[in-house]
Amino acid sequence: MGNLQKLNTFDNRTFIKGASELKVMMWYLVNHIFINSFLPLSSLKKFFLRLFGASIGKGVLIKPFVNIKYPWKLIIGNDVWIGERVWIDNLDTVTIGNNVCISQGAMLLCGNHNYKKSHFDLITAPILLEEGVWICAKAIVGPGTVCEKGSILSPNSFANTNLSSMGIYTGVPAKITKKRF
């Protein structure tokens, strides 16, 4: 029956969070109170994200109930919209280009586990959303994915490979269905 994971042997102490344990704990508290909350004040959210090391451009709108794992691993360009209940699980760097829309309930997941190893090792890789990308409602972008300029990931779709420029992708896993223009 192969090597099933043995969760009692899982050890992610080698994972580099990029900040001290105190900073991580302080961020979790701030994230819970100000970012992942009902507060509609995007300017306050951007203030705290910058305070904890995020790079955020002009004209960024962050809606209520957004969850961001590590702001020091987050780069956001200009005129970006991040919808309600978006989860940015940035165990690695997430770079969001200009004029990107991440719709309600979408997830950017930089990590996964190696199911082939019984220790269930953590695997991480960065995510890049280039200019003009639209990640539709409840879509998921997996570790190591590049969504090239103007690509669209349709609602409830999952991208685990790169999306080509101006392509519209649908399904699980996402496949190109047509070009945007």
- pLDDT of res. 1: 46
The pLDDT score that the predictor gives to residue 103 is 98
Q: How many angstroms separate the CA atoms of 2 and 4, rounded?
A: 6
For residue 2, the model assigns a pLDDT of 59
Tens of pLDDT, residue by residue over 54-88, are 999 999 999 999 999 999 999 999 999 999 999 99
Q: Distance of CA 50 to CAs 26, 45, 55, 63, 133, Å?
A: 14, 9, 6, 16, 23
pLDDT of residue 68: 98
Concatenating the DSSP letter of every residue in 140-167 gives: EE-TT-EE-TT-EE-TT-EE-SPBPTTE
- What is the rounded distance in angstroms from the CA atom of residue 131 to the CA atom of residue 106? 17
- Cβ density class 157-173: b for 16+ within 10 Å, e for less: bbbeeebebbbbbbeee
For the whole model, what pTM was predicted?
0.93
* CA 146, chain centre distance (Å): 12
Backbone angles phi, psi at 24, to 5 degrees: -60, -45
Count Cα neighbours of 81 within 13 Å in the Cβ-side half-sphere: 13
User: Residue 16's pLDDT is what?
Assistant: 81
Please, what are the domains in the chain?
A: 19-179 (2.160.10.10)
**Contact yes or no for 91/97 (Cβ under 8 A):** no
Q: With a cut of 70, which residues of the chain have pLDDT below it?
A: 1-2, 14
